[in-house]
Amino acid sequence: MSKKLTLIKFYMKRIYTNLLRLLKWIVFSVITGAVVGAVSILFMYCFNWVTDFRKEHIWIIFFLPVAGVIIVFLYSAFKYKNDKGTNLVLSTIHSEAEIPFKMAPLIFISTLITHCFGGSSGREGAALQLGGSIGNFLGKIFRFDDKDKRVVIMCGMAAAFTVVFGTPIAAVIFAMEVVSVGVMYYAALVPCVFASIVAYEAKIHYDIEGFSFFIDNAPDIGIISVSEIVLLAVLCAFVSVIFIITLHSLGDFYRDKLKNPYVRIIVSSAFIIIINLIVGNDDYMGAGGEVITRAVASGNARPEAFALKIILTALTLEAGFKGGEIVPSFFIGATFGCVFGQLFGISPQLCAGVGMMAVFCGVTNCPITSMFIAYEIFGFNCIGYFVIAISVSYLMSGYYGLYHDQTIVYSKYKTEYINRKARNK
């Protein structure tokens, strides 16, 4: 009887301990989701406003060099010249760096300036850095140890991702998956779920729009259609590698040849202005959400669109302007896939959506996140094609990745532990 009583006490103690842990993370993740969600919603309101302002005053792009000088000055004034962007968030989770709270207002303001004056970048990089920075700050306020602080940073990332894209499930997976490829931080599952849900409810309440499409003209799955999607996925993996190499190679060139950050951003601004003048429209300014919508919803895209977006995004981000690479990867994948569909006689809308997810997976090395994004943005109607394309792109993109501080823990090709950094050139 005493043994049974001891066993009961043991299990009751375990249950009590786990309940305390659950309560702890529900409380702190709700707080993190609410704070990061509120800041991200404010960011999205401001982002949408500056985007609308730029569209009504396209001539403002001629002041892009001035905007660039202001951004460089701000980072210099805050003594934060070596900005690693989203890489810094990943480094902090790896405990290889410390993400300062001053990053939050800097990335907030500089991203809005970039988009207002016509820089070609995304918005999610700023949101992830905002979420990571605020999460790290909250972790200090909560007096968490380093391990718990990393979890709060992932909570912040999940909440910010949810607000920007409106994909709460994918946001949870992304925060756990992007840091170390092949290993997920499951200890962050409950906190990220609650932070993401809180942020998503706030997003709905304040009517922040995300991507949402329905593809209704997809062919039935067969040998020919699957073969074409596999070919598209292989090409998208190649495009994603080109995007990664272009970004980082141009960055290395700038740092080697144009060491002065003011000269660098002015020269890059001049190239951006010239290219946009040659193109003759504002498709490549800002994130390019309208071009993505046009490609997926209507099946229309120009053949050169994906290449121009690669060049302009590289010129923007590597010069010192701020933003992100994920929405540009959506743009590149959607336009490339749309043109592929037009050439091969398969639904351009389907190929645009598939291209979106295949390039995203290729640049981030996040196949599970990609599958959930595909489900949350496109529904379950064509999920078979998305799963095929994402898995092929994940394999074919090799060990390249946007984020140098992303760790490839396990091989993509064998059940083998490799523990290496993602390649970017």
Give the whole-angstrom CA distance, residue 52 versus residue 60: 12
Joined together, the tokens standing for residue 380 give 């379950």
Q: What is the pLDDT of residue 1?
A: 57
Question: 417-421 and 180-181 as β-strands: parallel, antiparallel, unpaired?
Answer: unpaired
Dist. CA 394–CA 412, nearest whole Å: 8
d(CA 175, CA 152): 11
**DSSP reduced 3-state for 401:** coil
Residue type, 309: K
Q: What does the alpha-carbon distance between residue 328 and residue 197 come to, in Å, rounded to a whole number?
A: 26
- Topology of domain 10-205, per CATH? Clc chloride channel (1.10.3080)
pLDDT (tens digit, 0 to 9) for every residue of the chain, 425 residues total?
577 777 787 888 888 888 999 999 999 999 999 999 999 999 999 999 999 999 999 999 999 999 999 999 998 888 776 565 666 666 666 555 667 777 788 889 999 999 999 999 988 777 788 888 888 888 888 888 888 888 998 899 999 999 999 999 999 999 999 888 888 889 999 999 999 999 999 999 888 887 888 888 788 888 989 999 999 999 999 999 999 999 999 988 998 899 899 999 999 999 999 999 999 888 999 989 999 999 999 999 999 999 999 999 999 999 999 988 899 999 999 999 999 999 999 999 999 999 999 999 999 999 999 999 999 999 888 899 999 999 999 999 999 998 888 888 999 999 899 988 888 87
- The one-character DSSP state at 322 is -
The DSSP symbol for 421 reads: E
Q: How far is Cα 95 from Cα 22, in angstroms, rounded to an integer?
A: 24
Give alpha helix (H) positions in 345-407.
348-364, 367-378, 383-396
From the list 222, 253, 225, 385, the residue with the least C-alpha distance to 319 is 253
Sequence ranges of the domains in the chain = 10-205, 223-421
pLDDT of residue 91: 62
Output the pTM of the full model. 0.94
- CA angle, corner 353, sides to 181 and 310, nearest 5? 70
Contact 218, 283 (CB under 8 A): no
β-strand partners of 181 = 408
* 47-51: long-range pairs with CB below 8 Å, 24+: 47/111, 47/112, 47/115, 47/123, 50/112, 50/115, 50/116, 51/115, 51/116, 51/286, 51/287
- Are 10-205 and 223-421 equal in CATH topology? yes
Q: CB–CB of 127/40 below 8 Å?
A: yes
H, E, C per residue of 162-181: HHHHCCHHHHHHHHHHCCEE
The CA–CA distances, whole Å, from 309 to 246, 286, 335 equal 11, 10, 10
Q: Which amino acid is at 408?
A: I
- The 180-181 sheet, strands edge to edge: 180-181, 407-410, 417-421
The predicted structure's pLDDT at residue 81: 61
The CATH homologous superfamily to which domain 223-421 belongs is Clc chloride channel (1.10.3080.10)
State which amino acid sits at residue 96.
E
CA nearest to 293, candidates 301, 281, 285, 302: 301
Pairing of β 417-421 and β 407-410: antiparallel
